[in-house]
Structure 1
Amino acid sequence: MAINRTGSSRPNPRGEGGPSRSRKNNKLPKWFIILAWLAALGSLAFGALLAGVLVYYDNQLPDFRQLSEYKPPLITRVYDRNGEIVAEYANERRIWVSINEIPKPVIESFLAAEDTDFYEHGGYDLKAIIRAALVNTMTHRMQGASTITQQVAKTYLLSSERTYTRKIKELILSWRIEKAYTKNEILELYLNRIYLGNGSYGVAAAAQTYFSKTLAELTMPERAMIAGMPQAPSRYNPVRNPSAAKARRDIVIRRLQSEGYVTKDEADAAIATPLGLNISPLKQGEDAPHFAEYIRQMVLKEYGEKALYQDGLSVYTTLDLPTQRRAEEATYKGLRDYDRRHGWRGPLHHMKSLDGWQKEVNAFAEKYAHSWRIGEPAVVLKVSADSARIGLSDEREGIVARSTAKWTGKGSLNSFLKVGDIIMVKAVKKDGKDYSLEQLPNVQGALVAMDVRTGEVLAMVGGLGEGVGFNRAIMARRQVGSSFKPFVYAAAMEKGYTPASTVLDAPLVFNNSDGSEWKPHNYDKKFTGLTTLRQGLEQSRNLMTVRLAQDIGLRDVSELSRRVGLKGLPITDLSVVLGSINYTLMEMTSAYSVFPRGGSYIEPTYLRRVQDSKGVTLFRAHPACEKCLASLGATPDENPVLPKMGGKEALDAQNAYLMTNVLQGVVLRGTGYSLSSLGRPLGGKTGTTNDYVDAWFVGFSPSLAIGVWVGFDTPKSLGYGETGGRAALPIWKTFAEAQFKGTPIEGFSVPQGIEFVRIDAKSGLLPGVNSQKIITEAFKEGTAPTQTTPDYVDESGYEIFNSGATGGDTERPAANDGGSGNAPNNGGGSSGNPIENLLRTFGIY
């Protein structure tokens, strides 16, 4: 081997013997080494930076473990007695469902639309982040890259601001959430919190809002539409932007196809279908506005605003929605009939020009949206003698025929309608072009229906055509007129009177302390002399009612009234027995229910049960009873006989039945005679106040107590002849007829201690030879008459002094009547009255 000067071996030219020269050639270039060192240092720096960022933001991040304790704002639902939703109250519409209750196709739709790699990534998708960063930097478009986990972090723990700081926090939280929760737990949080437009939070709420369906009922295109909304709920809102919503839905359907969830044929068929919306906004108590508002106020007062709007209470009420709907319809029909009897009052408004009529009509439609039962606003576009072309909201048009306006009494349409008039109309047929001319009644009314056995309120109409407004059923205190008389007669029964006892129906004059006189009078200006209590109540005789109260004393009448819930009756003013006292319709109906209930008074009840979102009972009206139906003798084929409910005894069972029986006579022969056509046992009493200001009918069947009031909010006359029998009774009848249709006929139960005796209807005694009308009368045992009707009766005692009074109304209190003076104290008298002296000579007094 040759050695060079430096001592190194020289390579053999043939390649033999000497060492290779490759060691020098294998050295890494300096630039590469420098680059490697820079990369290493950069990695260290990046790691340090990353660690610094994590440390920096660590103290700023919310505790992700609070997700385990998250309590979502939930909807409070008000239910009727059958479980039908009456109203919903919430700041956010949300229905929480567990992941196990969410159908798999719904989950697949959201994964296809939002996060196809959800079950693979660790909380964030790095490729998607880089792609979005490039798009956002190099174009004018903004593209998101958030995974479902990131959306959970943002929605539950962070704000929605678009900043890099928030994005960093979101990534950190997402990683932590993935380590702490399962994928299904994360998915459950997401699907229940995501905002999906129109006030709906979560998939279940969206299914209800847009399609009125449960999640299990949704079709594939419906699921796809909802799954496409999280990206931009406003832009893809199917109500406001149906075309955008459909386009987005179709994209989701194609993604479902590309992910293998559906076939091409299924996707093609789904894309060909329309959106098919069936919008179902939160129930606002539309079917029972006044009842729903009353319940809302009760819950708000008892449990607070947060509980009502966020805690998802379940409020089970006594309301029966089918009964309520019948009550609303009967009230509307009765007030409409009254209003039409009093003619056309003119249009709601007049437009000088038809320019922009659509905007004007839309504004009126929104203003009168609560009057949907009556009709809707429309503008007259063209009018002739026989028809009018009208424009409605949403640019619809229709025709009003002359035949639908006969009630106005105006003849041709163009004699009272002008182009530009805004009027109320109602579709004659659904989805038709023909409309009837309507008018907003300016009269008001109320109706209450109560379960006799339990005191539960089944229906409550507080007014017409004004939304929640003023609840006249429980807030309006009005003079009750002759509807108060039964409580005077009931007090008399407690003092030993019977339905056959006689009281003089003849003129009365009371001298007041101020020197004035009070002269109560009967409606028909007639006097019937000695008259049985039954006839007096059936024919609503004022004079004998005053005499009866004077005999038994107002203190006893007041005490009985208090026991049936009618408090505050004065004991010094005899006019109150004719109804000059003020009570609410609910108070009167509840008081009447005492008679068919057998004498016990039960406070009206509106709530059955209140539960929190976990099913814990917060309130229960009646104690829970296990195996109740079995203990009552229920069988698979027969309902049990329900036990009598509790309550305070207001009068004994026998007197309660006597009054029930007498009030049946009001229906069979008296002022409530029109109800006899219903062909079932009913009792009740009309009431009319001075100058026809208030009209009442309160009555009952064996199972239902019903009250109706009609009048103006600002008291004024309803018009001559608008008595309780004409203005209120038809509403009662319409409702009762619909309510009892197809139900078995019930009879009033007769308590022990009652006997039935045949008597002379006129004298109240046992029948005589010349008795012309014999009836079977009810008595407490031992109180039936023993005397026989005389063979001769002076008929002059039964109808005398036809013109001896100044007029009046059987059903109205005569206080403050036309200068006749005020009612005196109970001790006032009429001794020395020449008319009464004359009656004594006839042997009638």
Structure 2
Amino acid sequence: MVRQGNGDKKLVAERRYAADSRKKPQKTRKPRKKPAGRKPAGGPIRRLWRFLMRLIWVIVSRTALAGAVVLGAAVFYIYTTLPHYGDLLDGRARGSVTMLDRSGEVYAWRGEQFGGQITADTVSPHLKDAIIATEDKRFYRHFGVSPRGIASAVRINLSEGRGPLSGHGGSTLTQQTAKLLCLGVPFDPKKWESQTEYESDCRQTTMARKIKEMVYSMAMEVAYTKDEILAIYMNRVYLGAGANGFEAAAQRYFGKSAAQVNIAESAMLAGLLTAPSRYAPTSDLKRSQERAGIVLLLMNQQGMITDAQRAEAKASPAQLSETAEKRAGGYFADWVMGAGPDFLTRDTTEDVIIETTFDQSIQNAAEEALVWVFENKVRAGSEAQAAIVVMSADGAVRAMVGGRKLKVSGAFNRATQANRQAGSAFKPFVYAAALDMGYRYDSAIVDEPITVNIPGSGAWEPQNYDRSFHGAVTLTEALKHSYNIPAVKLAMDVGLENVRTVAEMFGLDSDLAQGPALALGASETTLLDLTGAYAGILNGGSSVTPYGLKSLRIKGDTDAIMGQDGGLGERVITPDAAQQLIYMMYNVVQSGTGTRARLDGIESAGKTGTTQAARDAWFMGFTSDYVAGVWMGYDDNTPLTGVTGGGLPAQIWHETMARVYANREAGPLPMIRPATPPRIPGTTTTAQSGGQSGAQTGTTQNTNRGQSKTEKVLIDILNQIFGGKN
């Protein structure tokens, strides 16, 4: 544009639109008039609704804020009370007992085992992965509580017809650790009668308990790292067979540390968390392996192991260690637990090591013998029981079988707890008393009908097993064939009190019978005590106390708190009497009632025993090294059918000792060795049924009868001093 002088007009923009297209001003609308008598639509209702929503929001927000404050305060308070995590790794209320055999090898455990403290860094990474995969795959991502897990668990419980908190709990690994800690409540013996009751209270699943558990878990997440929480869990959780913590379980089942377990072993250990007693490999190895397969699948699905690793682990499942597989000496271990004071065994709060006399090879021999005889010699389905005890001559017990169920713990032990009549197995102590008082192995005694008047009971006429009378016989012959009448006559001749004294001194002191039936084993005893009494014969006439505990010490200490070097006691009969008796019992096995126990190339001696109505059958015998006793019968005293002591018990004894000496050399028995078998010169023995015996009648014929016991002992001492012979 060009400026045009002083009278220039104002600049005006050119019109952009034609005149007819100019925008017209809009008219102002007048508000519509509402119909008379009609209220605005939704006014008061909307305002009321808005008011209620604001009120609810205020209440909820204030409540949530207050709840958050309370929750934070509760978490903070618990946080301040939590101890250092290292103090929580061993939470046992009781200690453990580890038993070593005579060679120093572990063979049994009792109590609550704890293998030592482990951490998330020291265990096998496979074990750590298996635990996480099985128990809480989001462990490293949550804050101690998993709302998703809880909601899922409630849904599953309701769908299965249970209460929302019954069954699946949706607990995180942190919550499970809180349960193991009993939410910080220590065991108080004044409040809970037992550890079991205390632990049951810890596992309650009420709503209030669940809330406390969640709060405690969040406090733990604040106080400890994830690995520290995992360490507490791994050290405290129970994994069956008395094992507390994964280190103890790895040692118990696999004989190795938790740092050394492979994928298959890790899966098996983690599988125990669901039900430790049910899935313990010592209870059912196959079931435990199947459970481990599920853990392997979880590990594979979560990317912790490859398909190839899973396939390899399934193809080579975890196996028990040799020691765990044997589960040796359950009856023996239970018996030893009662040998020491309760506060160091059953109720110990310390970890205790017990050295024992147990011999695993002899135990295996006894167990294999028992199984073999029942499988091959006893009718199928028989409920008859048997027990075996093997010991050395000083009373050191080497093996013990308390019943046909071998792999047990805490079961009824027929070797130590069953009191049964000894029957003819008692007779050697009648002869021991007689020999010690001057009788000889070749002394004569007449097997003839006798009548004994028992005050209060009337006349009693003992009978032999074959219902016959055999006339004049030697003591060796009478014992060899287990004649009853000579045993009764001999007991009455030397005095029942003397017989009772000898038996008691040898260890048979459990309410011995008072009448002449004492000679026939009418008194009750245990297999352990009777075996110990026979050990006294083998060792030359000294009493023994059967023992299994050699020493007891606290784990980590070198000095024993208590111990025992042997079980030998005072002398009961002279060595000469013992040697004669061993010779007589040798004849029992060679050509008498115990021939089924005879061992090829090994000298052995023994005695059979069968009680009235065959309710009990025994064979007691020994070699130069070991004494073994076998009992057979029914727990309810049902009579045995076709069984005597010289039958199945003698066969069990034979099978046991044949296995014991499979890799051992046997020595000669410590007995006299006459040039000729004992016999009565100038007499003829006639067996008659119900009548008088042959040419010689009366009582025992013995040239040494006039010699008193005191004189005999004095002569023995003088002979030992001056080198004389008995």
Partner in structure 2 of residue 802 of structure 1: 688
- Is the CA contact (8 Å cut-off) linking 1:193 and 1:201 kept in structure 2? yes
* Shift in alpha-carbon separation, 1:111–1:492, aligned structure 2, 3 A: closer
- Secondary structure at the aligned position of 1:588 is classed as helix
Structure 1 CA distance, aligned partners of 2:568 and 2:525? Answer: 24
Q: Deviations over 1:290-348 (max 9, x none)?
A: 444445566795558653xx7554444433333223323323443455542xxxxxxxx
* Shift in alpha-carbon separation, 1:287–1:802, aligned structure 2, 3 A: same
Partner in structure 2 of residue 464 of structure 1: 404
Structure 1 CA distance, aligned partners of 2:382 and 2:67? Answer: 76
- Correspondent of 2:387 among 446, 456, 462: 446
Q: 1:594 offset after TM fit, Å? A: 0.3
Q: Deviations over 1:151-191 (max 9, x none)?
A: 8778547489897876665455444446xxxx987775454
Q: Which has the larger radius of gyration?
A: 2
Aligned length: 589
Alignment of 1:149-228 (within 5 A): 156=181, 158=183, 170-177=217-224, 188-193=231-236, 202-205=245-248, 207=250, 214-220=257-263, 223=266
- Secondary structure at the aligned position of 1:724 is classed as coil
Partner in structure 2 of residue 473 of structure 1: 415
Partner in structure 1 of residue 475 of structure 2: 533
- Is the CA contact (8 Å cut-off) linking 2:177 and 2:232 kept in structure 1? yes
Partner in structure 1 of residue 651 of structure 2: 730
- Is the CA contact (8 Å cut-off) linking 1:128 and 1:145 kept in structure 2? no
Q: 1:589 offset after TM fit, Å? A: 1.0
- Secondary structure at the aligned position of 2:318 is classed as coil
- Correspondent of 1:656 among 578, 584, 603: 578
Alignment of 1:139-158 (within 5 A): 156=181, 158=183
- Is the CA contact (8 Å cut-off) linking 1:480 and 1:687 kept in structure 2? yes
Partner in structure 2 of residue 811 of structure 1: none
Structure 1 CA distance, aligned partners of 2:318 and 2:505? Answer: 51
Paired residue type of 1:451? S
Partner in structure 1 of residue 609 of structure 2: 687
Q: 1:519 offset after TM fit, Å? A: 2.8
Structure 1 CA distance, aligned partners of 2:529 and 2:416? Answer: 8
Partner in structure 2 of residue 762 of structure 1: 679
| Comparing 656-665 and 58-67, the one that deviates more | 58-67
Partner in structure 2 of residue 102 of structure 1: 122
Structure 2 CA distance, aligned partners of 1:314 and 1:704? Answer: 26
- Is the CA contact (8 Å cut-off) linking 1:75 and 1:95 kept in structure 2? no
Q: Deviations over 1:66-124 (max 9, x none)?
A: 54444332655455444565554557x75334459935645875899799xx9xxxxx9
- Is the CA contact (8 Å cut-off) linking 1:335 and 1:445 kept in structure 2? no
Paired residue type of 1:696? W
Partner in structure 1 of residue 589 of structure 2: 667
* Shift in alpha-carbon separation, 1:280–1:158, aligned structure 2, 3 A: farther
Q: 1:590 offset after TM fit, Å? A: 0.9
Alignment of 1:766-777 (within 5 A): none
Alignment of 1:212-611 (within 5 A): 214-220=257-263, 223=266, 244-251=294-301, 254=303, 267=306, 269-275=308-314, 276-278=316-318, 287-295=328-336, 301-303=342-344, 307=348, 312-336=351-375, 339-340=378-379, 439-453=380-394, 455-465=395-405, 469-511=411-453, 517-567=459-509, 573-611=515-553
Partner in structure 2 of residue 772 of structure 1: none
TM (norm. structure 2) is: 0.66
Alignment RMSD, CA only?
5.2
- Secondary structure at the aligned position of 2:609 is classed as strand
| Comparing 225-234 and 603-612, the one that deviates more | 225-234
- Is the CA contact (8 Å cut-off) linking 2:545 and 2:568 kept in structure 1? no
Structure 2 CA distance, aligned partners of 1:490 and 1:746? Answer: 23
Structure 1 CA distance, aligned partners of 2:449 and 2:170? Answer: 94
Q: Deviations over 1:239-278 (max 9, x none)?
A: 67666523321255x458xxxxxxxxxx463244343433
- Is the CA contact (8 Å cut-off) linking 1:448 and 1:473 kept in structure 2? yes
Q: 1:670 offset after TM fit, Å? A: 2.1
- Is the CA contact (8 Å cut-off) linking 2:624 and 2:666 kept in structure 1? no
Alignment of 1:783-798 (within 5 A): 793=682, 797-798=683-684
* Shift in alpha-carbon separation, 1:798–1:271, aligned structure 2, 3 A: same
* Shift in alpha-carbon separation, 1:615–1:802, aligned structure 2, 3 A: same
Q: Percent identity?
A: 27
Paired residue type of 2:660? Q
Partner in structure 2 of residue 641 of structure 1: none
Structure 2 CA distance, aligned partners of 1:107 and 1:570? Answer: 60
- Is the CA contact (8 Å cut-off) linking 2:145 and 2:217 kept in structure 1? no
- Is the CA contact (8 Å cut-off) linking 1:336 and 1:441 kept in structure 2? no
Q: Deviations over 1:543-594 (max 9, x none)?
A: 3323322221112111111110112576852222122222222221111110
- Is the CA contact (8 Å cut-off) linking 1:228 and 1:249 kept in structure 2? no
Specify every segment of 5 or more residues in structure 1 that has no aligned partner in the other structure, as ranges.
1-46, 119-123, 257-266, 341-438, 624-643, 764-788, 806-834
- Is the CA contact (8 Å cut-off) linking 1:707 and 1:732 kept in structure 2? yes
Q: Deviations over 1:735-790 (max 9, x none)?
A: 1111111211212347xxxx866457313xxxxxxxxxxxxxxxxxxxxxxxxx6x
Structure 1 CA distance, aligned partners of 2:144 and 2:384? Answer: 70
Paired residue type of 1:446? A
Alignment of 1:113-124 (within 5 A): none
* Shift in alpha-carbon separation, 1:445–1:230, aligned structure 2, 3 A: closer
- Is the CA contact (8 Å cut-off) linking 2:267 and 2:292 kept in structure 1? no
- Is the CA contact (8 Å cut-off) linking 2:134 and 2:295 kept in structure 1? no
Paired residue type of 1:215? A
- Is the CA contact (8 Å cut-off) linking 2:389 and 2:531 kept in structure 1? yes
- Is the CA contact (8 Å cut-off) linking 2:263 and 2:313 kept in structure 1? no
1:707 and 2:629 correspond? yes
Structure 2 CA distance, aligned partners of 1:844 and 1:452? Answer: 33
- Is the CA contact (8 Å cut-off) linking 2:388 and 2:415 kept in structure 1? yes
Q: 1:679 offset after TM fit, Å? A: 1.7
| Comparing 549-558 and 310-319, the one that deviates more | 310-319
* Shift in alpha-carbon separation, 1:703–1:554, aligned structure 2, 3 A: same
| Comparing 494-503 and 239-248, the one that deviates more | 239-248
Structure 1 CA distance, aligned partners of 2:387 and 2:701? Answer: 43
Partner in structure 2 of residue 781 of structure 1: none
Alignment of 1:75-86 (within 5 A): 76-82=97-103, 86=107
- Secondary structure at the aligned position of 1:699 is classed as strand
Specify every segment of 5 or more residues in structure 2 that has no aligned partner in the other structure, as ranges.
1-64, 157-168, 185-202, 280-286, 703-726
Structure 1 CA distance, aligned partners of 2:420 and 2:150? Answer: 70
Structure 1 CA distance, aligned partners of 2:677 and 2:397? Answer: 40
TM (norm. structure 1) is: 0.58
- Is the CA contact (8 Å cut-off) linking 2:96 and 2:111 kept in structure 1? yes
* Shift in alpha-carbon separation, 1:216–1:677, aligned structure 2, 3 A: same
Paired residue type of 1:278? A
1:696 and 2:618 correspond? yes
- Is the CA contact (8 Å cut-off) linking 1:462 and 1:470 kept in structure 2? yes
Q: Deviations over 1:600-626 (max 9, x none)?
A: 212111333444455587753326xxx
* Shift in alpha-carbon separation, 1:145–1:844, aligned structure 2, 3 A: closer
Partner in structure 2 of residue 630 of structure 1: none
| Comparing 463-472 and 557-566, the one that deviates more | 463-472
- Secondary structure at the aligned position of 2:83 is classed as helix
Structure 2 CA distance, aligned partners of 1:553 and 1:677? Answer: 36
- Secondary structure at the aligned position of 2:386 is classed as strand
* Shift in alpha-carbon separation, 1:489–1:175, aligned structure 2, 3 A: same
Partner in structure 2 of residue 374 of structure 1: none
* Shift in alpha-carbon separation, 1:512–1:128, aligned structure 2, 3 A: closer
Q: Deviations over 1:26-49 (max 9, x none)?
A: xxxxxxxxxxxxxxxxxxxxx999
